Amino acid sequence: MPRSLARAACIDDLRDMARRRIPRFAFDLVDGGAESERNMRRNVEAFEEVELTPRYMVDVSQIDTRVTLFGRDYALPFGMAPIGMLNAFWPGADLTLARLCKRENIPYVASSAASTTLEKLAEAADGNGMFQLYVSGDDAVTEGLIARAEAAGYETMIVTADVPAAGKRDRDIRNQLAVPFRFTPEVIAQCALHPRWALTSLQHGTPNVANYADLLKSATSYADVQKTLITAGFSWDSLEKLRARWKGKLVVKGILHPDDARRCARIGCDGIVVSNHGGRQVAFGPPTAEALPAIAKAVAGEMTVIVDSGIRRGADLLRAKALGADFCLAGRALAFGVGAGGAAGADRAMEILKLELVRALGQLGVPQVGHVGREHLAQQPTDPLGALPSEAVNPPSGA
């Protein structure tokens, strides 16, 4: 491992390294958030603010980080969250992370907006893959992706519900982000200042949204891509149809309210992801660490609760468990590793998170990650929505 990567003490160090190695327009594609990015920052801060109370005189000489998710055993309580167009951040990032997840025996969630086809990612993840679906306004497009996911062997599908309208990302506007990339004088100048990224990108070819390549030949902007990927018409009826169509495990990603979680459970979904899309879509929503406790309480024992958005430390995985999550997804944390040093950087990011997780379990006095729970919280969370009538927040269908 290069000395520079070995000296990276935390994920933030890897982020700084990635920022120096990658042109601004490509770095901002992953690092940026919606509007002022307050929601993105609050995701990280809210986890940091969760205090856990250590208990001592406990034998922590043997630490067990294994968990079970949807009937499968994994080595760690987190997996790779879906990120679209990640090969624009660092060439080959999709396959690098899929293979890493297989080696480490954690789930890899392949984005339908990935730069690599879902079939290649399923092969690289080799049984550890899950597929994330954006529901298109064109039913034939959605059905085509589902059929391909089935044929590729994915057993779990995660449908993203939190993009009824495209988020406004100020950094992308300033960078004039376009799909396919336009080589403007500014872009050329940035590439010249980052020759390793530029040469590696030339070797891998221009990144695109591989699963929609034929449909997006006429696209001239990332907004055009989003129009193909998402629909404002995705509804509870749509979710019920997906539940009937998909025979494997079905998870809904983007849940921020307990009533929505309950309704997913009634429809027969196997799990939810408490998520605000990493702060990339809604600028005004709650951080996931604040939304999680009430949601976990609402569906306790009924379905699997996963959380993403803001995971930067191994201790964050314990905080999430204490707040009620069964599992976590981390996206930017591993992506920063790839950006900092390719495959070696991804390995370093994984090494950092694993080391922090093991040390945090020892410091907390809990030798098994599955035994971390609400009782370890220094302060019990409050439910700010608990006093509101359900119908006041989420009116019945047809109202």
Dihedral angle of Cα 223, 227, 233, 235, to the nearest 10 degrees: -80
Q: DSSP readout, 65-76? A: --EEETTEEESS
| Known active-site residue 277 | yes
How many Cα neighbours within 13 Å face the side chain of 368?
Answer: 5
Instruction: Return the residue matching tokens 């010249």.
Output: 192
- By residue count, the chain amounts to 399
The CA distance from 328 to 317, in Å, is 7
Find, among 196, 198, 192, 222, the residue nearest to 209 by Cα: 222
The CA distance from 14 to 16, in Å, is 5
The CA distance from 54 to 168, in Å, is 41
The type of residue at 93 is A
The CA distance from 78 to 145, in Å, is 25
Question: Exposure of 154 by Cβ count < 10 A (0-12 exposed, 13-18 middle, 19+ buried)?
Answer: buried
Q: DSSP readout, 174-211? A: HTT--SSPP--HHHHHHHHT-HHHHHHHHHH-----GG
Selecting among 194, 257, 277, 376, the annotated active-site residue is 277
The type of residue at 297 is K
Residues annotated as catalytic are: 277
